[in-house]
Amino acid sequence: VQLQASGGGLVETGGSLRLSCAASAASGYTFSRLALGWFRQAQGKEREFVTTISRNMKSTYYADSVKGRFTISRDNDKKTVYLQMNSLKPEDTAVYYCAAVSTILTFTPTTEHDYHYWGQGTLVTVSS
């Protein structure tokens, strides 16, 4: 599975961005069988979990730092996962990575080690 993240950019504090992550069509996998997640890595820091969505879209989980501001969603027909980011803060500045893993229906993995496939990252910069 190849993932391509996009949508990053420069935004002012309080602004919004929507990130997208599209999975390439490849034989041997079905997008709807993947749990999907977003992670981020700020300069000089470890990569951290942001949010995840289960295969059946019924379960989502968010890091406390983004809860109420970020929303994850997926479109299985378009093979794409989205991250809507509102009320952005300077501390949200980071490279954002999408990730995927083939798993059971309701699993919402929250650690890096749970994921098998990773996108290349897209930079989000929030100016103060």
Written as six digits, the tokens of 78 are 């378009």
pLDDT band at residue 25 under the 50/70/90 scheme: low
One-letter amino acid for residue 107 of the chain: F
Please report the DSSP string for 57-87 in residue order.
SS-EEE-TTTTTTEEEEEETTTTEEEEEE-S
**Residues listed for the chain:** 128
Task: Give the C-alpha separation, 25 to 121, whole Å.
Answer: 19
Q: Smallest Cα–Cα separation from 105: which of 29, 31, 32, 20?
A: 32
* Residue 93 binned pLDDT confidence (cut-offs 50, 70, 90): very high
Report which of 52, 49, 31 is spatially closest to residue 102, judged by C-alpha positions: 31
101 strand-pairing partners: 35
Find the mean pLDDT for residues 87-102.
97
Coarse DSSP helix, strand, coil percentages of the chain, rounded to the nearest 5 percent? 5, 50, 45
In tens, the pLDDT along 40-92 reads 999 999 999 999 999 999 999 999 999 999 999 999 999 999 999 999 999 99
